[in-house]
Amino acid sequence: MTLDSVSSLTPAAPAIACETLVELKNVSFGYTKARQILSGINLIVPRGKLVAVMGGSGCGKTTILRLLCGQIKATSGDVLVSGQSVAEMNHEQMYAHRRRLGMLFQFGALFTDQTVFENIAFPMREHTELPEEIIHDLVLMKLNAVGLRGAAKLKPSELSGGMARRVALARTIALDPQIALYDEPFAGLDPISLSVVGQLIRRLNDALGMTSILVTHDIAESLKIVDYIYFVSAGKVVAHGDVEAIKASTDPFVRQFVDGQPDGPVGFHYPAKALAEDFA
Amino acid sequence: MNGIARLLTKLGASVTGGIARLGFATRFFVAILRLSGTTFARPQLLLREVYQAGVLSLIIILMSGLFIGMVLALQGYETLVRFGAAESMGMLVALSLVRELGPVVSALLFASRAGSAITAEIGLMKTTEQLAAMEVMAVDPIARVVAPRFWGGVISLPLLAALFSTLGIYGGYLVGVRLIGIDSGAYWGQMSAAVDWKYDILNGVIKSLVFAVAISLIAVFEGYDATPTAEGVSAATTRTVVTSALAILALDFVLTVIMFRGGAG
């Protein structure tokens, strides 16, 4: 499969030669008319790929995941998963759709009144009729995959940030989802934990045959593990391409992001009056 | 003129906001009832909440019941002895507790101890995206988190109120019979003659049940509707205690008018 090279400020989604699993077609969303989060966004995620959606804080990345989960509905445009519009799903279809999803929340969202084991077992107990012995084995297998089999009896409050993220990762893949969504999985992690989580996301995607969407602003780690990257700014896709194309890009937005420059197309200052006016 | 217009706009917004919230609470209550099947199909969920709301409230309820019964006996004796009716202390203590103090005080304590805890727990689950995580896992948080806590409260409070009254009556016995020296037979005999099973005890239980539904609904609703921030959860917890207390007192007045207006039945 060949993903197209970097395309800057292109409103249209890229032509990807692989079967499309997730597609956002000209999607807009805003909590109010005055506060638009997404403005006509186009995005394609091919089956089996690990795609990153990147951009600064508040640019609308997490909103894309929430649209995919059906937690919110697009004000215009289509959010398609396997060709089916998420907005048009009824209650049963939505729950069936969500059972095919796994989502890792930014801060893990582990159930604090349950142990690590119970957290991973939760979706299995809720959605399957499996006997406890099988669930026990499956949970330990999932925990083993993230290297935390020995932490099964701990409570989330006893885990470090990196361990909690790995437990959340194990819960995300508990039911072998078709699509895995990761919301800022690297936020607040030390370099070792960050690398471990990054490698796990890649390995699990390939081993379980999943399709993954990774929302992050960690460019260095993303470039190591993803297949394709979309850059979002002010609710729009401003650039996209595969890893090599992104690295080689001369687009000012991409360069500012990749090189971590404080000022550029993404301004350092929040919009404000002229300095002289404020100090007058 | 502008000031009056702004004031009216604010007033209108607060009225319509209040009505909208009431509508949301009503729909929320209907959703709890509709999704309660999981709670009763999986008794361990319900038992956990009965433990959290009921068993963990035992100390405060039992101690309060005991002391209120003792104070009631002391105060009651002061008044009764003036009319030469000190032997009626058992009746006074029992009727006061079973009809009024038992259901009302235990409900107020329950709202402060368990209601606030339920609101804070659900509010924090919302703040830390645990409810959102459940939704994304295709598990309805109203069925899995809210309904068990609601029914846990509804079951616990009438039992706690019964224990409160029982300990209160025993506290009255300790002070009246053991300390002051009223005849034990008179204490229990007057009580059993005066307290009617249906008119007093059943009405007291109905009161507790109504208070339990009100407190549990307020607690789960405030938690679910809390603004997902630290101060949002704090405000929701405060609202639970204040709204529950006002609801208990208002409902108590209405129920007392309905139940006891016509005299002993």
- Looking up residue A8, the CATH number of its domain turns out to be 3.40.50.300
How do A50-54 and A76-81 pair as beta strands?
unpaired
Q: Give the closest residue to B88 by CA, choosing from B174, B169, B173, B187.
A: B187
Q: At what angle do helices B147-173 and B184-194 cross, to 10 degrees?
A: 140
For residue A277, being part of any structural domain is answered with: no
A196 and A81 both lie in a single domain = yes
Tens of pLDDT, residues A192-234: 888 888 888 998 899 888 999 999 888 888 888 999 999 888 7
Q: Which of A176, A203, A234 is the C-terminal boundary of a domain?
A: A176
Nearest to A105 among B125, B129, B139 (CB): B129
A172 and A185 both lie in a single domain = no
Q: Which of A122, A147, A176 is the C-terminal boundary of a domain?
A: A176
Name every chain B residue with its beta carbon within 8 A of the beta carbon of A103: 133, 136
For residue A39, being part of any structural domain is answered with: yes
Mean pLDDT lowest among A43-47, A54-58, B68-72, B208-212:
A54-58
A49 and A137 both lie in a single domain = no
- Please compute the mean of the pLDDT values over residues A146-156 and round it to a whole number: 91
A185 and A67 both lie in a single domain = yes
Nearest to B133 among A96, A105, A127 (CB): A105
Tens of pLDDT, residues B117-147: 999 999 999 999 999 999 999 999 999 999 9
**What confidence score (pLDDT) does residue A220 get?**
85
- Cross-chain residue pair A71–B135, CB shorter than 8 Å: yes
Q: How far is B135 from chain A (nearest CA, A)?
A: 8
A43 and A84 both lie in a single domain = yes
Whether the predicted pLDDT of A269 surpasses 50: yes
For residue A92, being part of any structural domain is answered with: yes
d(CA B242, CA B246): 6
A78 and A191 both lie in a single domain = yes
For residues B185 and B193, is the Cβ–Cβ distance under 8 A?
no
Helices and strands, counts by H and E, chain A? 10, 11
How do A228-233 and A236-242 pair as beta strands?
antiparallel
Give me the residue spans of the domains in chain B: 35-260
For residue A53, being part of any structural domain is answered with: yes
- The pTM of the full predicted model, rounded to 2 decimals, is 0.85
- Cross-chain residue pair B137–A71, CB shorter than 8 Å: no
Whether the predicted pLDDT of B197 surpasses 80: yes
Nearest to A95 among B125, B138, B144 (CB): B138
For residue A278, being part of any structural domain is answered with: no
Name every chain A residue with its beta carbon within 8 A of the beta carbon of B135: 69, 71, 98
A181 and A161 both lie in a single domain = no
Closest residue on chain B to A126 (Cα): B139
Total structural domains within chain A: 2
A83 and A117 both lie in a single domain = no
Bridge partners, A236 (sequence order) = A233
A77 and A129 both lie in a single domain = no
d(CA B253, CA A140): 57
**What confidence score (pLDDT) does residue A12 get?**
44
Residue A3 banded pLDDT, cuts 50, 70, 90? very low
The fraction of chain B above a pLDDT of 70, given in percent, is: 98
d(CA B71, CA A246): 79
Tens of pLDDT, residues A21-42: 899 999 999 888 777 888 889 9
Interface of B with A (CB under 8 A): 124-125, 128-130, 132-133, 135-139, 144
A88 and A121 both lie in a single domain = no
- Please compute the mean of the pLDDT values over residues A99-116 and round it to a whole number: 91
Domain that holds residue A127: 110-176
- Cross-chain residue pair B133–A71, CB shorter than 8 Å: no
**What confidence score (pLDDT) does residue A147 get?**
86
d(CA B148, CA B144): 7
Tens of pLDDT, residues A119-148: 999 999 999 989 999 999 999 999 998 888
d(CA B151, CA A202): 44
A17 and A95 both lie in a single domain = yes
- Cross-chain residue pair B137–A98, CB shorter than 8 Å: yes
For residue A202, being part of any structural domain is answered with: yes
For residues B160 and B61, is the Cβ–Cβ distance under 8 A?
yes
Nearest to B137 among A107, A110, A123 (CB): A123
Q: How far is A109 from chain B (nearest CA, A)?
A: 5
Tens of pLDDT, residues B162-183: 999 999 999 999 999 999 999 9
Q: Give the closest residue to A82 by CA, choosing from A64, A101, A63, A105.
A: A101
A114 and A227 both lie in a single domain = no
